[in-house]
Amino acid sequence: MAECKVCFRHCRIEEGKLGFCGGRTVRDGRVEAYNYGRLTSLALDPIEKKPLARFYPGSLILSAGSFGCNLRCPFCQNYEISWSKEAKRFAEEAEIFTPEELVEIALRTRSRGNIGIAFTYNEPLVGYEFVRDTARLAKSEGLKTVLVTNGTAELPVLREIAPYIDAMNIDLKGFTDRYYTKVLGGSRPMTMAFIEEAVKTAHVELTTLIVPGENDSEEEMRELSAWVSTLREPDGESVPLHISRFFPRFHMTDRKPTDVRLIYRLAKIAREKLDHVYPGNC
């Protein structure tokens, strides 16, 4: 048995078993990424889908996803490859890529407008070793690297990958501990600490999905945007915030999509403190 130190859970994993996230295991007494190189999704996406509004707008990026996640969001859009029964099947069937193979695909798609590689779809940090190794190689080939993450990771993990990541979109899913702990199974302090460090090393944009009855109050948006306004990237730029509309999905089909008028109202409130606010899914 060995202790995984990727996130706040610090799972103690038995030899050959999987941790809570489903992406990490123990071999020969050492914790490693079981999902290393096991890609379940590969697509050439507009950079705006990450979503990134202020990082090479209008470009495309090769988006790669594996399986595994250390949160349990009941509205997950990618649950099939994150932590569902289907994800366990994908774990066995997924094609294994080396960093060299993924970078080669990215280089071949440059002629189609691709600027690099985005690690996305599932939670990439539960397999941060593959992110680190691939991003390092991608950077050496002049490719841009993007991380789309929930930010639920210890700072040593961030420090391992930070030198090789150009941009991140990080979920700031809400601004109450109740929501983070009871609904998502996460840690707001860990995510906030991750964001505070990430903005020092890369271009960062944040995304908040507005779920009716959970994190949709004007008061919470005022508190969230006030905190985001204290963040500054190395060039002094403020951090953009995407405020996105919820749609019923997975285990949360008991409520309607977020009212579009509410999204625009919360965006207006966020603009009281922030320079760059983007309504999403409207």
pLDDT value for 79: 82
Residue 167 host element (H or E): strand 167-171
Average pLDDT (192-219) is: 97
- pLDDT, the chain, mean: 95
Query: pLDDT value at position 189?
Result: 98
pLDDT digits (tens, 9 = 90+) for 41-54: 999 999 999 999 99
The residues that bridge with 12 in the sheet, in sequence order, are: 3
Total structural domains in the chain? 1
Q: pLDDT tens across 73-101, in order?
A: 999 988 887 777 776 677 677 779 999 99
CATH code: domain of residue 195: 3.20.20.70
pLDDT higher than threshold 90 for residue 198: yes
Per-residue pLDDT band for 237 (boundaries 50, 70, 90) equals confident
pTM for this predicted structure = 0.96
In whole angstroms, give the CA distance from residue 43 to residue 105.
11
Residue 36 confidence class, pLDDT cut points 50, 70, 90: very high
**Two tokens, residue 54:** 């202020």
Residue 25's domain spans which residues? 2-280
Mean pLDDT of 135-143: 98
- Amino acid at site 247: F
**Polymer length of the chain:** 282
